[in-house]
Structure 1
Amino acid sequence: MTQSWQFWALLSASFAALTAIFAKIGVGSVNSDLATLVRTGVILLVAAGIVAVTGQWQRPTEISGRAWLFLTLSGVATGASWLAYFRALKLGDAARVAPLDKLSIVLVALFGVLFLGEKLSLVNWLGVGLIAAGALLLAVF
């Protein structure tokens, strides 16, 4: 079961749901940018601990320039996403912010097709459309 991508994706979704709830409570009396900094520091410590304990460290010189570039871009995008997400949570209800944030699923599908050459079936596109409609219904109405 732990070798299945579905297991890890559902675990990720569960933690993401808890993230929204915990963040909404935590950001109540704190500036949203500072809250993001605190969260980032915790993530850095946890990730460093996991890499150290599991022996997954590798020398930075073993990582290709292309990997460095795209991991850096991913980090910048993640940081921007977190800053925007915490600001949205500061201003809005978690039950409305989180679904709108999940429009990222729709964007990943579109970007995957446009930039990575991935292919989606008609049924897949129907699912993407339903996710978009559901997110908008939750967030707007």
Structure 2
Amino acid sequence: MSAVFAALTAIFAKIGIQGINSDFATLVRTLVIIGALCLFLTITGQWQKPGDISARSWLFLVLSGLATGASWLAYFRALQIGDAARVAPVDKLSVVLVALFGAAFLGERMTAINWFGIVLIGCGVVLVALRV
């Protein structure tokens, strides 16, 4: 389901940003997400007290939020000037980077076949991005 929604995100965003500033479009998207999540947490009763969250969790959630915001701004700008069919795969280079960062910073281990798959993903992104 995540992949389907991610694909729809690219298509809807590409259509939605036509004729408007990509940064403003990112703000609109963010406000929709905030509203939807507030509604979801309310309906499911999953709200938590902010004081129950550790300082370490707060730090990394804030850093994650900043990284997400930067990613979205860059993604929407790329969608505004490029083809969705090329921009979205380049965005998915994050899969390769997560594997590298996970191994380097979190001590996560992958097998040779896993690394081969990561290399194939990287090569696939390059092939899709080429304008041949």
- Structure 2 length as normaliser, TM-score? 0.98
Residues 38-83 of structure 1: CA deviation (Å, up to 9, x unaligned): 0000000001111111000111000000000000000000000000
Q: Which residue of structure 2 aligns with residue 108 of structure 1?
A: 98
Q: Which residue of structure 1 aligns with residue 14 of structure 2?
A: 24
User: Counterpart of 1:12 in structure 2: which amino acid?
Assistant: S
Q: Secondary structure at the match of 1:29?
A: coil
Distance across 1 between alignment mates of 2:69 and 2:125 = 22
Distance across 1 between alignment mates of 2:24 and 2:89 = 23
Deviation at 1:90, TM superposition (A): 0.3
Distance across 2 between alignment mates of 1:27 and 1:12 = 22
Q: Secondary structure at the match of 2:4?
A: helix
Q: What RMSD, in angstroms, separates the aligned Cα atoms of the two structures?
A: 0.6
Structure 2, gaps ≥5 residues long: none
Q: Which residue of structure 2 aligns with residue 39 of structure 1?
A: 29
Runs of 4+ displaced beyond 4 Å: none
Deviation at 1:13, TM superposition (A): 1.2
Distance across 1 between alignment mates of 2:67 and 2:123 = 25
Length, aligned pairs only: 131
Distance across 1 between alignment mates of 2:103 and 2:8 = 30
Distance across 2 between alignment mates of 1:15 and 1:135 = 20
- Structure 1 length as normaliser, TM-score? 0.92
User: Counterpart of 1:21 in structure 2: which amino acid?
Assistant: I
1:1-141 correspondence runs (5 A): 11-141=1-131
Deviation at 1:34, TM superposition (A): 0.4
Distance across 2 between alignment mates of 1:98 and 1:130 = 16
Deviation at 1:140, TM superposition (A): 1.9
User: Counterpart of 2:74 in structure 1: which amino acid?
Assistant: A
Distance across 2 between alignment mates of 1:33 and 1:49 = 25
Q: Secondary structure at the match of 2:17?
A: helix
Structure 1, gaps ≥5 residues long: 1-10
Distance across 2 between alignment mates of 1:65 and 1:12 = 29
